[in-house]
Amino acid sequence: MTVSREWLEKDYYAVLGVARNASQADIKKAYRKLAQQHHPDATKGDKQAEERFKEISTAYDVLGDEAKRKEYDRVRDMAASGFRFGPGGGPGGPGGTRFEDLGFGVGGLGDLFDLFGEGRAGARARHGADLVAEVEVSFEDAMAGTTVPLRVTGTQPCQTCHGSGARQGTAPVTCPQCGGAGSVAVDQGFFSLSRPCPRCGGRGQIIEDPCPTCAGSGSTTATRTLRVKIPAGVEDGARIRLAGRGEAGPPGAAPGDLYVAVRVRPHRFFQRRGADLLLTVPVTFPEAALGSNVKVPTLNGAVTLKVPAGTRNGRTFRIRGKGAPKRRGGHGDLLATVEVEVPGKVSREERDLLKRLRDAGGPSPRAHLGTEE
């Protein structure tokens, strides 16, 4: 399927005078009527009518084909949602809406998305590339917040020319071909579009005397060490954006951003669920049956958990404010779940006590199953 860049510029629904949600039958009807009116046989060499007929045919060629129509709608939705097409592109630029030549017309939907990807990269070409890095921190550091060193290799503004690309004592000058606009108009049949200026590559400026250190690129490749602040309470997989800490851009352009993915190592016994921490607290059968005060760890020292008499296995106690720090202040809770331990090995004395306990009787826990006498 051929995707024309004209799709971005022409509203075929308006051309055929139908609503965007018109049925295929309505579109066909509207086309037939218009085609009859403007057919060259009927208009006899009227240039304007001929153009109009061409326009109608093109519009129907797309809207009359359900698959093409779908793709057309999608392209225009993407354009409307603020996709930028190349330097200086988009509504509001000088000379109205302009689109960089993205080489439309090569293929189907997959290609189209690739083209949009390129288009976006083109729009970002005036910025440096974004960088992605990863840091790993301990559970405790993630809870308390920390600062970690991060070595990043990439381009950075040239130290000699401070990113201008021009030899010291000189400066980039306005491009004579585009007058600094960065783009030039190209006539393409009955519509015109603008392309990045071939002389300055869309920058609007040229460097006549390049900086010898960076050969005019304005940037050099280097390894730098950053200190990345990890906010308290950060979760595993979080991404921290450091604006302007990515790669250097072309001369005069802003640098890209640095995205740091945070890996949090698991804790020995705390688990995390949102801002809450989960902890399993083993207790003995007598502790659960008789009740007891059990010391449990928190992120900042032990606290005493009162286990009431008759506590069942698996009961969870909420210890307020002892969870992970929340982004907007405060803390989550610590959820301590009691796990009644059954000893695997018992001493002779314990065995005697347990036998006495068993023989003391009491109602069977299986009474409801109806199998007990």
Residues that bind Zn ion (CB under 5 A): 158, 160-161, 175, 177-178, 197, 199-200, 211, 213-214
Q: DSSP for 77-113? A: HHHHTT---STT-STTSTTSS--------S-SHHHHH
Instruction: Please classify residue 329 by burial: count the beta carbons closer than 10 Å to its beta carbon, then call 0-12 exposed, 13-18 middle and 19+ buried.
Output: exposed
CB 296 within 8 A of CB 302: yes
Using CA atoms, how far apart are residues 96 and 112, in angstroms rounded to an integer?
A: 24
Rounded to the nearest whole angstrom, what is the least distance from the CB of residue 141 to Zn ion in the complex? 39
Rounded to the nearest whole angstrom, what is the least distance from the CB of residue 200 to Zn ion in the complex? 3
Rounded to the nearest whole angstrom, what is the least distance from the CB of residue 108 to Zn ion in the complex? 34
Rounded to the nearest whole angstrom, what is the least distance from the CB of residue 209 to Zn ion in the complex? 11
Q: DSSP for 328-356? A: TSSB--EEEEEEEE--SS--HHHHHHHHH
Closest to Zn ion by CB, 175 vs 228, is 175
Closest to Zn ion by CB, 204 vs 332, is 204
Whole-number CA gyration radius for the chain:
35
Closest to Zn ion by CB, 2 vs 159, is 159
Tell me how far CA of residue 167 lies from CA of 126, 207, 214, in angstroms: 21, 9, 10
Q: How many helices (H) and strands (E) does the chain have?
A: 10, 15
Closest to Zn ion by CB, 20 vs 224, is 224
Rounded to the nearest whole angstrom, what is the least distance from the CB of residue 14 to Zn ion in the complex? 34
134 DSSP β-pair partners: 261
Rounded to the nearest whole angstrom, what is the least distance from the CB of residue 119 to Zn ion in the complex? 20
Closest to Zn ion by CB, 215 vs 302, is 215
Using CA atoms, how far apart are residues 332 and 355, in angstroms rounded to an integer?
A: 44
Closest to Zn ion by CB, 63 vs 200, is 200
CB 181 within 8 A of CB 94: yes
Rounded to the nearest whole angstrom, what is the least distance from the CB of residue 109 to Zn ion in the complex? 34
Residue type for 207, please?
Answer: I
Rounded to the nearest whole angstrom, what is the least distance from the CB of residue 26 to Zn ion in the complex? 47
Closest to Zn ion by CB, 187 vs 349, is 187
Using CA atoms, how far apart are residues 150 and 144, in angstroms rounded to an integer?
A: 19
- According to DSSP, the β-strands at 131-137 and 258-264 are parallel
Using CA atoms, how far apart are residues 36 and 45, in angstroms rounded to an integer?
A: 15
Closest to Zn ion by CB, 205 vs 311, is 205
To the nearest 10°, report the CA torsion of 209, 215, 218, 221. -170
Rounded to the nearest whole angstrom, what is the least distance from the CB of residue 174 to Zn ion in the complex? 8
Closest to Zn ion by CB, 102 vs 200, is 200
Rounded to the nearest whole angstrom, what is the least distance from the CB of residue 280 to Zn ion in the complex? 59
CB 161 within 8 A of CB 146: no
Residue type for 115, please?
Answer: L
Closest to Zn ion by CB, 177 vs 313, is 177
